[in-house]
Amino acid sequence: MDLLPSEEQLELLSAASEFLTDQQPIRTLRDRAGQDCAVDRAQWAAGCDIGLLTLGLAEEYGGSGRPLDDEALLFRELGGQLAPGPYIAGALGARVAAACGDAQLAARIGSGEEWVGLAELRGDGEIGPDRVKGTFDLVDAADCDHLLLVTEEGAALLPPPAAEQVTRVEAIDPGTRLATTTLAATEPTHWVPAETERLADRALVLSAAMLAGLAEATSELATEHAATREQFGRPIGVNQAVKHACVDMAVRAEAAVSQALFASVSVSSARQDVRFQLLAAKSVAGRAAIDNAASCIQLHGGMGFTAEHDTHLYLKRAHVLDHLFAEPADVLAELLTQGAAQ
């Protein structure tokens, strides 16, 4: 049993982390506020070059063939750094192409040449091997080449709808591009049934990992502020009202990260209670990310309420991620139908 990152994993993470801080610092979210895409195409390709989308993809499809816990650690980093762009859709989209034997498409997605945006069914609709229809939120899908749809039954890639069928919507998060579209029956170009590969499970791991990383980042941000911001001649962190709030954030982050990693290993080791562990991971990480971002704003006082400070960006991204791949209420309902943990 081992739930700690290995030396090799730590090296890999520090490379990714360095790239993100250098190339996509949080201020780029503000710099690109008016642009169609939240991330610059050249920057995206540079991230793809260091394998951000293909860490877990088999080597024969141009990936690094690393286990899911490597990807969970990477996405925890992406979440903590508020990295803009459709990372989960890209990583899973390349996997869908690979599972369908479409090596060329997997390579084009993995290299950043073709983009995959995420489509989330809102309300009634249908997602199946033969057709997809309904009203969808499109998340970071501006200018994309494919849409990814993930359900319990399987995952699909589909051509994006024509521009005139898409209505842009202002997103809560300045780092996320949102639109809505209604699709009449459309046939997916690629379909991976859950029996072949459970992409929905991987989506839960990656989104939980991002949320957990975000919860960790706000915990660190708040603690740093409490240690350095002085009022009444002392750092505000000497006060228990502030110190204890920082501790509660750290505990929530530790719980969220631990469970996200536990869930990622549950998938690779095919535990019987894997679904239980995944749902628990998403629920714990979603609440930790939102609660911690909220506490972080409070602990920053007036600065926390400004647009200029980063704190609100974490809160807004947390809400976006919390609504991807599974609604919080659905996660809880399904978790309760599961048998007890193994």
In contact, 9 and 74? CB cutoff 8 Å: no
| Nearest distance, CB of residue 293 and other proteins, angstroms | 18
Single out the residue of 49, 247, 303, 306 in contact with other proteins (rule: CB under 8 A). 247
| Binding test (CB under 8 A) with other proteins, winner from 58, 172, 254, 294 | 254
Q: Work out whether 251 is an interface residue with other proteins (CB under 8 A).
A: yes
Site for other proteins in 189-228 (CB under 8 A): 223, 226-227
Q: What are phi and psi of 127, to 5 degrees?
A: -135, 110
Contacts 24+ apart (CB under 8 A), 268-273: 268/67, 268/68, 268/69, 271/342, 272/342, 273/338, 273/339, 273/340, 273/341, 273/342
Find, among 14, 280, 38, 300, the residue nearest to 177 by Cα.
38
Task: Give min distance, CB of 329 to other proteins, in A.
Answer: 7
- Please list every residue from 264 through 293 that binds other proteins, using CB under 8 A: 264-266, 268-269, 271, 276-277, 279-281, 283-284, 287
Cα–Cα distance measured from residue 336 to residue 342, given in angstroms and rounded to the nearest whole number: 15
Comparison of 124 and 240: residue with beta carbon closer to other proteins: 240
Binding mask 63-92 for other proteins (x = CB under 8 A): ----x-x-----------------------
The whole-angstrom separation of Cα 297 and Cα 59 is: 43
Helices of type H across 81-198: 87-99, 103-110
How many Cβ atoms sit within 10 Å of the Cβ of residue 30? 13
The binder of other proteins chosen from 123, 234, 302, 307 (CB under 8 A): 234
Answer for which of 42, 184, 185, 333 binds other proteins (CB under 8 A) is 333
180 contacts: CB under 8 Å, gap ≥ 6? 122, 135, 136, 137, 138, 166, 167, 169
x/- mask, other proteins, residues 18-57, rule CB under 8 A, reads ----------------------------------------
Helix (H) or strand (E) holding 117: strand 116-127
Q: Of the ranges 4-12, 142-150, 156-164, 198-206, which one interacts with other proteins (CB under 8 A)? A: 4-12
Please select the residue that binds other proteins; options are 186, 250, 309, 323, rule is CB under 8 A. Answer: 250
φ and ψ at residue 240, rounded to 5 degrees: -65, -30
**CA distance linking residue 157 with residue 132, whole number of Å:** 10
Binding site residues, other proteins, CB under 8 A: 1-6, 67, 69, 223, 226-227, 234-235, 237-238, 240, 243-244, 246-248, 250-251, 254-256, 258-259, 261-262, 264-266, 268-269, 271, 276-277, 279-281, 283-284, 287, 329, 331-333, 335-336, 340-341
